[in-house]
Each structure stands twice: as structure tokens, then as C-alpha cells.
Amino acid sequence: MGKCLIHSGGMITDQNIVWDHMAEQDIFCESMADAAMTVHQMFGDKIAYVNMMCNLSVDCDCCAVAEDPCMADIGILSSLDPVALDKACMDLIYSSNDPGRDHFIERVESLHGSHTIDAAADLGFGTKEYELIKM
């Protein structure tokens, strides 16, 4: 049975309470894929995806105290298929010989980051197959 966290005083300000009641990591990754599918379905063929592979850091852009970038810029990728795009980005990181690559991959794997790509492909709004065209 799922747990619901209710705080009668409004917003929860103790981060430990929030972190202690987070979903399992794979469930979180699957919910991100599901949310992305909703956006993809909303805009249909009126959306294009662009990933900026610049200043690659192991922390999210939204992190208040993000770690400094650990990998050199790889480039800018775009696609009409968000799953293929993210898969191509991860493949470029895995095939990189950048000194920060192992640190980056360690963080992604420790958080099951590629599970989001797998879940999105399983939902059927993209494919992990792609052709990389360099310009």
C-alpha cells in the first residue's frame, strides 16, 4: 500500500522528511518517462527535442549546489524522437575518452539514469534505435 505524507501546516520545510518518503529510484525514473510521454503526446508532431551536451556535470541543472562540470563539451544534438536523442547522448558519453567520463557514468548508473530511457521506450513514444548524423 502506498504512503501519503500530509502536513497540516502547509508546505513541508524539513528536507529530511521529504527525502525519507521518496519513491524508489526506478519508480521515480519511470514516472519521469511517463511525464515526458504526456508532454510528447500533447504536442505530437509540433515538437522537436534539443540536448545541449555542454558543461556536463553529474548534478542536475536544478541543483542548488551543483558540482562543477566534469566532462568537456560534446556538442548539440537534436531529434524528433526524444528517446533516440537521450540514448544517443548517453552512447556518446559511454564512448568518450574524456577524463571525467567514469565519474559521470558512475553517477548515472548509481541512480539508474538509463532506466528512464528504457521506460520511455517501453511506453512506446520513441525508440532507442537512431542514426547519428554529424554536421
**pLDDT score of 4:** 47
In-domain check, residue 8:
no
**More confident: 56 or 95:** 95
Q: What is the average per-residue pLDDT within 90-111?
A: 94
Looking at the 3D structure of the chain, how many domains does it have? 1
In-domain check, residue 132:
no
**More confident: 113 or 43:** 43
In-domain check, residue 6:
no
Query: Integer distance in angstroms from the first to the last C-alpha of the chain?
Result: 51
Q: What is the mean pLDDT of the chain?
A: 86
**Closest C-alpha among 89, 67, 66, 87 to residue 76:** 89
**pLDDT score of 43:** 95
In-domain check, residue 23:
yes
**pLDDT score of 115:** 92
For the record, the C-alpha cell of 109 comes out as 548508473
Q: How many Cα atoms sit within 13 Å of 44 on the Cβ side?
A: 1
Domain containing residue 54 = 15-123
